């Protein structure tokens, strides 16, 4: 079959095929067309998002490596740096959830490894259809098992994450995984090929047929045929992955590598062409030299295979045997499969003949599209909401219990208990807090990590929702005492060729950009996952933010848990009235997704977050929590449950507003802190000097949770609701 007749089956449009012919000055052969098909896929080429991504700020004071390499890197201090990135494995997880999630973990770990960093922490961001749906419950269980199965076995702790359920994700789950790694600031590896005559060495596993055209599969909408494409999903081996980590780090320490690149989407094709394009050189690959797991593999299968646990290294000729020997000690395959050349081409050799020859820069430069932008018609309807449209509760205690037990708000203990979050002994604050906190051994330094997403908010207000997502991440890091440094993002959206979906993408990126500029948190890397649609429609527009922060003294940190009887609880935040629009309360209790959530005041968000962080750094506060989904009373309930200490609300919760609005309404720039009475005067003075709003909410103590005459519950009955097993009842209590 001629290339002209097959380009459409490989995911290339007629215009793209015409462009390829124009660039080459001839028709490509099947192998060459296959190379273009994966490199010009949305998954690898970012065709629809690249023009928009230029809006994001990427540079900053502590940024050592921004977009362009495998991950971003920020400076921590004392010669240490943190590499970090988030990526998606949505489509693979929809059809093969265990392996899809597991290989998503393996792939992001190798991105960090490619920089010469030791992977030290994992976080996930997961979204599924309602757990009452059998398929959604199956996907949820298998994805969690896959994340834990790979992360636990490879020895990298899963220290945090987030989880949400909505009909918008039925059939198209979101599986985003973030990894961070420590590296010496003067020892960061590059994935830039250089040195004509240097050798390309494949290190790791043998190559098989798993994952062929996985990048193309990830760039299509899911359909009833997707189940037939299980062969596009890779299969991981975490024990081999562990050996690959140790082997590569030894090679880096020994100065044996010129460059290092992981083999992820599009396999050898992407690794080799991207390394060549970055270095402005060519590469020649002999597919006959690639160690194979299966007999009879064709050149295009070898070039496109996404077999896991493989890295591609550039090695000086005199060091090749030493590299092979070290790999052998770890039980890994290492084979010279090509060389760096000066001609600028990606040349594939098979049977001693040139089977394909394409300029590497052509493969790495996919066409970019600026699509039509049309404001979605649904926004006109969902934005119409007045608080009088819903009745106030008759039993506020019952409402709180119902919210505590809802799948979107209940404890995640049944999830993170399946993850090893302490391997490596660097975890200071474990899952369940606003952010994870890790130490840098041998120093007082620490760093914090969080992942946050607000799909419903972005659906109701794409720009405001995306800005609020960044703000929530900033608050979460500040609540544990970390100074936010930078962001990695995972942009999960529907089909960008549809004008309303492209509107959502464009406005969300604008909202993120504005927030990152105000917060001083540049976006140093990330991932875009588009075409997240099924026959039911598109997912919520869901930009997920992974943010990292630094702590000069990791011993001075805070958690949400009440720690002492008799502590004073203060609300610290901008004096803005909460709203039920777009809130968890409105959806959980009244079954409505409607209204425009409050527009975040980004300057106030930063001012109050910085104030709370300063109190923690001074050692005045060790209990802090942001007010987010569920509102103020829900945040207080979480703090009481985390510490096993009751709470008594002071004052009238209904003063000046409907009680459910005051208690369960949501707004930005809000925090709760608890502290001993002897520190109260100093904290109030600091807040006053900063011109910050600070009011006493109540005191900790006892075994009951009381809010005026509206709520009087025992911690035991609250824990029974909040501590539900998400895997046990299929969402019946939600």
- The catalytic site residues sit at 43, 89
Residue pair 125/174 in contact (Cβ under 8 Å)? The answer is yes
Q: What is the 3-state secondary structure (H, E, C) of 266-277?
A: CHHHHHHHHHHH
d(CA 547, CA 702): 36
For residue 335, list its beta bridge partners: 202
Place of tokens 């460059």: 259
Which residues are within 8 A (CB) of 321 and not within 5 positions of it... i.e. 6 or more apart? none
Residue among 630, 633, 659, 650 at smallest CA distance from 713: 633
Are the beta carbons of 583 and 472 closer than 8 angstroms? no
In the sheet where 623-626 sits, what is the strand order? 623-626, 670-675, 568-573, 694-700, 647-649, 704-707, 711-714
Query: d(Cα 40, Cα 216) in Å, to the nearest integer?
Result: 9
3-state secondary structure of 467: helix
544's enclosing H/E stretch is strand 542-551
708: left (phi over 0), alpha (psi -120 to 50) or beta: left
185, exposed or middle or buried, with CB in 10 Å at 0-12, 13-18, 19+?
middle
Q: How far is CA 503 from CA 22, 52, 508, 567, in A?
A: 31, 11, 8, 48
Q: In degrees rounded to 5, what are phi and psi of residue 335?
A: -145, 135
- Quote the DSSP letter at residue 421: -
**What is the SS3 assignment for 324?**
helix
């Amino acid at each position: 079959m001629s290339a002209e007749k097959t380009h459409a089956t490989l995911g290339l449009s007629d215009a793209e095929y015409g462009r390829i012919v124009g660039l080459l000055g001839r028709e490509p052969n099947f192998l060459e067309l296959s190379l273009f098909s994966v490199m010009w896929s949305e998954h690898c080429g970012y065709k629809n998002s690249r023009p928009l991504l230029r809006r994001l700020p990427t540079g900053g004071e502590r940024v050592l490596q921004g977009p362009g390499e495998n991950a971003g890197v920020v400076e921590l201090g004392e010669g240490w740096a943190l590499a970090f990135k988030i990526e998606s494995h949505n489509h693979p997880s929809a059809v093969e959830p265990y392996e899809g999630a597991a290989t998503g973990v393996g792939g992001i770990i190798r991105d960090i490894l490619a920089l010469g960093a030791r992977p030290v922490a994992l976080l996930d961001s997961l979204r599924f259809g309602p757990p009452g749906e059998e398929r959604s419950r199956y996907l949820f269980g298998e994805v969690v098992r896959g994340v834990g199965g790979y992360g636990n076995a490879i020895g990298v702790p899963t220290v945090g994450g987030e989880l949400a359920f909505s009909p918008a994700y039925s059939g198209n789950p979101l599986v985003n995984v973030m990894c961070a790694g420590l590296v010496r600031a003067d020892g960061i590896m590059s994935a830039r090929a250089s040195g004509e005559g240097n050798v390309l060495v494949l290190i790791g596993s043998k190559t098989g047929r798993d994952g062929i055209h996985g990048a193309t599969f990830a760039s299509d909408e899911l359909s009833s045929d997707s189940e037939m494409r299980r062969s596009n999903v890779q299969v991981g081996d975490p024990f081999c992955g562990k050996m690959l980590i140790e082997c590569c780090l030894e090679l880096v320490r020994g100065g044996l590598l010129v460059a290092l690149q992981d083999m992820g989407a599009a396999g050898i094709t992407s690794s080799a062409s991207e390394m060549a394009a970055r270095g402005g050189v060519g590469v020649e690959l002999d597919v006959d030299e690639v160690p194979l797991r299966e007999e009879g593999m064709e050149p295009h299968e070898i070039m496109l295979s996404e077999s896991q646990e493989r890295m591609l290294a550039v090695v000086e000729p005199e060091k090749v045997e030493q590299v092979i020997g070290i790999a052998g000690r770890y039980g890994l395959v290492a084979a010279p499969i090509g060389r760096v050349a000066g001609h600028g081409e990606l040349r594939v050799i098979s049977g001693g003949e040139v089977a394909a020859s394409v300029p590497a820069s052509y493969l790495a430069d996919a066409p970019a599209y600026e699509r039509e932008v049309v404001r979605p018609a649904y926004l006109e309807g969902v934005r119409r909401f007045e608080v009088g449209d819903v009745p106030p509760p008759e039993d506020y205690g019952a409402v709180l219990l119902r919210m505590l037990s809802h799948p979107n708000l209940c404890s995640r203990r049944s999830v993170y208990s399946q993850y090893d979050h302490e391997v490596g002994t660097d975890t200071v604050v474990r899952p369940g807090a606003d952010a994870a906190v890790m130490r840098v051994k041998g120093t007082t330094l620490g760093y914090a990590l969080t992942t946050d997403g607000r799909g419903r908010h972005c659906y109701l207000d794409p720009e405001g929702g995306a800005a609020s997502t960044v703000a929530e991440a900033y608050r979460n890091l500040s609540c544990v005492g970390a100074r936010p440094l930078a962001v990695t993002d995972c942009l999960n959206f529907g089909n960008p060729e549809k004008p309303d979906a492209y509107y959502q993408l464009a406005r969300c990126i604008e909202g993120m950009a504005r927030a990152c500029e105000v917060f001083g948190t540049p976006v140093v890397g990330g991932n875009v996952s588009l075409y997240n649609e099924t026959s039911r429609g598109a997912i919520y527009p869901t930009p997920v933010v992974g943010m990292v922060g630094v702590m000069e003294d990791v011993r001075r940190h805070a958690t949400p848990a009440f720690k002492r009887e008799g502590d004073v609880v203060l609300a610290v935040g901008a004096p803005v009235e909460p709203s039920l629009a777009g809130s968890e309360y409105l959806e959980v209790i009244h079954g409505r997704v409607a209204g425009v959530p409050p527009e975040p005041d980004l300057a106030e968000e930063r001012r109050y977050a910085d104030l709370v962080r300063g109190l923690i750094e001074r050692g005045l506060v060790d209990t802090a929590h942001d007010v987010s989904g569920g509102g103020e009373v829900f945040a207080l309930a979480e703090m009481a449950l985390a510490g096993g200490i009751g709470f008594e609300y002071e004052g009238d919760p209904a003063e000046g507003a409907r009680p459910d609005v005051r208690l369960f309404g949501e707004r930005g720039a809000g925090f709760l802190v608890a502290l001993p009475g002897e520190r109260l005067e100093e904290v109030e003075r600091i807040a006053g000097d900063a011109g910050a709003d600070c009011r006493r909410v109540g005191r900790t103590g006892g075994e009951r949770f009381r809010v005026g005459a509206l709520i009087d519950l025992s911690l035991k009955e609250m824990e029974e609701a909040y501590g539900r097993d998400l895997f046990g009842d299929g969402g019946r209590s939600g």
